[in-house]
Structure 1
Amino acid sequence: MPKYIIERKLANAGKLGAGDLCSISQKSVGVLQELGPEIQWVNSYVTDDTIFCVYIAPNAQLIKEHAERGGFPADQVLEVRNIIDPTTAELK
Structure 2
Amino acid sequence: MQLYVIRRPSAWADLAELEAAGAKSARIGNEEMADQVRWIRSYVVHEPDGRIGTFCVYEARDGEAIREHARRVGMPGEEFYPVATTVIVRPDPVEAVPA
Q: TM-score when scaled to structure 1? A: 0.77
Which stretches in structure 2 are left out of the alignment for 5+ residues? 48-52, 91-99
Q: Which has the higher strand share?
A: 2
Q: CA–CA distance in 2 between the matches of 1:35 and 1:83?
A: 25
For residues 23 and 88 of structure 2, the distance between their equivalents in structure 1, rounded to whole angstroms, comes to 31
Q: Tell me, what secondary structure is at the counterpart of 1:47?
A: strand
TM-score, normalised on structure 2? Answer: 0.72
In 2: Cα distance, 1:54 partner to 1:28 partner: 13
Deviant stretches of 4+, over 6 Å:
none
1:40 to 25, 38, 57: 38
> Match for 1:5: what amino acid?
V
Cα separation, 2, equivalents of 1:21 and 1:56: 20
Shift of 1:39: 1.2
Q: Is the 8 A contact 1:5 1:80 kept in 2?
A: yes
Which range moved further: 30-39 or 71-80?
A: 30-39
Q: Would you tell me which structure has more helix in proportion to its own residues?
A: 1
Mean Cα deviation higher: 24-33 or 57-66:
24-33
Q: Which runs of 5+ in 1 are unaligned?
A: 88-92
Identity across the alignment (%): 31
Query: Number of residue pairs matched?
Result: 84
Distance in 2 (alpha carbons) for counterparts of 1:21 and 1:76: 18
